[in-house]
Amino acid sequence: MFICSCRELAAKCGEHVPALLQQIDGIGPKYSELLWNHGIKSIAALAKTSVRDIEYLLSRNPPFGTRVLASASLFPAYRLSVDSYWVDDRSIVFTIMVDGSNSDGARQAPFSILAYTEGKHMLLLKFEVVDVLSQSSYYETQVGLCNPIPGTRVIVEAAPEMRVGCLQRFEATIPDYDFANSVSDSATDVELGIYDDLLEDLVADSELK
């Protein structure tokens, strides 16, 4: 997507190519290809690899692996989760949660949240850039979708700006409407009012566009 391409241009590297591992100190073209061919295809995957395995795969002696992991630990790391529920039979709300508490030692960097439907007629649901310098390590946002078609795939991505190889991706299929588990069956009037306001804002925004 265009937004992903902008991040790749800023990082001067593609999101899904071995060269992204060259952002790590000590990793050049040869080493990035070796790691990629052994299934290590992101900064997050590299950070989870043991010192011993890194040195074995690259035929290097200590403390090379320790230095590589020290460099990888400076990159932002996020945990992305998404919940969804029907407000009524015509609207569904997605709650997007990004937890950055596992990247305390990482360089602080703004991150973007992108949500869209996948298919012939792609619909952009949300694009938001969050400045972590002014937010806590946990961030939550919501997006509503009116008249959703069950079976439509929804993609949510979270990734730091100016970096590649740290992308977190969530994929889900919109379920059939379930009255028993809808918000209207259990929420208070106040809670429903909040979600009604959210959906009204989304409808107003779409009409302006």
Q: What angle do CA 158, 168, 87 make, to 5 degrees?
A: 65
CA distance 40 to 49: 8
Single-letter residue type at 105? G
CA distance 47 to 27: 13
Q: What angle do CA 67, 73, 75 make, to 5 degrees?
A: 125
Residue 154: predicted pLDDT: 94
The closest of 126, 146, 127, 139 to 196, measured between CA atoms, is 146
Within 10 angstroms of residue 40's Cβ, the number of other Cβ atoms is 21
Residue 164: predicted pLDDT: 86
Residue 188: predicted pLDDT: 36
pTM over 0.75: no
The closest of 145, 132, 133 to 98, measured between CA atoms, is 132
Residue 62: predicted pLDDT: 96
Q: Residue 86 is inside which H or E element, if any?
A: strand 79-88
Residue 161: predicted pLDDT: 79
Residue 82: predicted pLDDT: 94
Residue 94: predicted pLDDT: 94
Residue 189: predicted pLDDT: 37
Within 10 angstroms of residue 201's Cβ, the number of other Cβ atoms is 11
CA distance 76 to 69: 13
Q: Does residue 5 contact residue 11 with C-beta atoms inside 8 Å?
A: no
Residue 107 DSSP one-character state: P
Residue 35: predicted pLDDT: 97
CA distance 199 to 93: 9
Within 10 angstroms of residue 158's Cβ, the number of other Cβ atoms is 28
Kindly give the confidence (pLDDT) of every residue in the chain, 209 residues in length, as a single tens digit, with 9 standing for 90 and above. Answer: 545 666 677 667 778 899 999 999 999 999 999 999 999 999 989 999 999 999 999 999 999 999 999 999 888 878 899 999 999 999 999 999 988 765 545 555 788 899 999 887 789 999 998 886 544 578 899 999 999 999 999 999 988 877 788 888 999 999 888 775 665 443 333 333 444 444 555 545 555 55
Residue 78: predicted pLDDT: 80
